[in-house]
Amino acid sequence: MIDVLFNDSFAATLKYYYQQKNINNEVISLPMHLSLGDINQGNFLENRRTLYKIQSTHDKLTSTSECVRSLNESLERLSDLVNQDDLIRIWWSEASDDYCGFLWLCEWLAGKRIQSVEIHIPLSYVTVKGLRTFASLGEIFAEDIDNLALLDLQRPLTNPQRQAYGRAWMALRNDNTPVRANVNGHILSQPITFYDQFLISQISARRFRNVLRIIGETLGRFPVGVPDWWYQHRVEYLISKGVLDYKKDGQGIGSLELGSVRLKG
């Protein structure tokens, strides 16, 4: 069996879980961030390269070339395994990147003579300690796989179902807006400013506030699965357009991450 996911952190968690359980499944991670960026024009990998450049600009632990190389290898490996008629199990959630990844993969698999199943994971659970919510599958621990009975959520994913989901992805690709967001269970095309509302709600017009603190509060208050580097990218844009005032924090420090911003009056 091949397990396909769209979140690197959860892929690492699942691999660890399988090691502990002596399960010999292959795990393939496709962190494509398909809820963001161009999804229609040109070569698919080149489209993702553009987005990875934005990511690596703000996340110093990643590099554009490494992200593209890793994604290309994962796609080639998946293609090889599909040709071997292995069963594919797709893990996804209502998080926009997962949802878009799932639709994309269904379109990619449409028409292929292969068996597939899905595990659609809710992002909230009631436990003995109260309501537990996840912004993404990356927040799930290895012990949660058993404690939340995630494997029991497995359902068949037939070829007609894959074709239907694939058509939904084709519609999004035809729209090709910069953002795709889950609104009341539906993935909808949105303008690039869609997530700015959450960010701006944490910025004061009266005083400067540290950028990292603002982004951290935005992620905490609005757990919609948007990566921190996207918010950093948007802060830079809003500064360049004069929406935000910016000042350095400390002598000779010129990085935006250590700066502060406020709304222009």
SS3 of the chain: CEEEECCHHHHHHHHHHHHHHCCCCEEEECCCCCCECCCCCCCHHHHHHHHHHHHHHHCCCCCHHHHHHHHHHHHHHHHHHHHCCCCEEEEEECCHHHHHHHHHHHHHHCCCCCCEEEEEECCEEEECCEEEECCCHHHCCHHHHHHCCHHHHEEECCHHHHHHHHHHHHHHHHHCCCEEEEECCEEEEECCCCCHHHHHCCCCCCCCEEHHHHHHHHHHHCCCCCCHHHHHHHHHHHHHCCCEEEECCCCCCCCHHHCEEEECC
pLDDT of residue 174: 96
Is 186 part of a structural domain of the chain? no
| Mean pLDDT value across the chain | 93
Q: pLDDT tens for residues 9-66?
A: 999 999 999 999 999 999 999 999 999 999 986 788 988 999 999 999 988 888 999 9
Regarding whether 200 and 74 lie in a shared domain, the answer is no
In the chain, the amino acid numbered 193 is T
Q: Which of 53-62, 163-172, 217-226, 247-256 has the lowest mean pLDDT?
A: 247-256
pLDDT of residue 85: 80
Domains: count for the chain = 2
Regarding whether 56 and 157 lie in a shared domain, the answer is yes
Regarding whether 253 and 155 lie in a shared domain, the answer is no
pLDDT at 257 over 80: no
Is 182 part of a structural domain of the chain? no
| d(C-alpha 92, C-alpha 96), whole Å | 10
pLDDT at 255 over 60: no
Regarding whether 252 and 123 lie in a shared domain, the answer is no
Q: How many CA atoms lie within 13 A of 236 on its CB side?
A: 14
Is 129 exposed, middle or buried (CB count within 10 Å of its CB: 0-12, 13-18, 19+)? exposed
Contact 120, 148 (CB under 8 A): no
Q: pLDDT tens for residues 86-143?
A: 899 999 999 999 999 999 999 999 888 899 999 999 999 998 889 999 999 999 999 9
Q: How many CA atoms lie within 13 A of 184 on its CB side?
A: 0
Q: Which domain holds residue 224?
A: 196-263
Regarding whether 201 and 93 lie in a shared domain, the answer is no
Is 180 part of a structural domain of the chain? no
Is 45 part of a structural domain of the chain? yes
Regarding whether 233 and 128 lie in a shared domain, the answer is no
Regarding whether 95 and 221 lie in a shared domain, the answer is no
| Confidence bin at 253 (pLDDT 50/70/90) | very low
Regarding whether 18 and 77 lie in a shared domain, the answer is yes
| Confidence bin at 250 (pLDDT 50/70/90) | low
pTM more than 0.85:
yes
Q: pLDDT tens for residues 154-203?
A: 999 999 999 999 999 999 999 999 999 999 999 999 999 999 999 999 99
The CATH number of whichever domain residue 251 belongs to comes to: 1.10.10
- Which of residues 142, 175, 208 is at a domain's end? 175
Is 104 part of a structural domain of the chain? yes
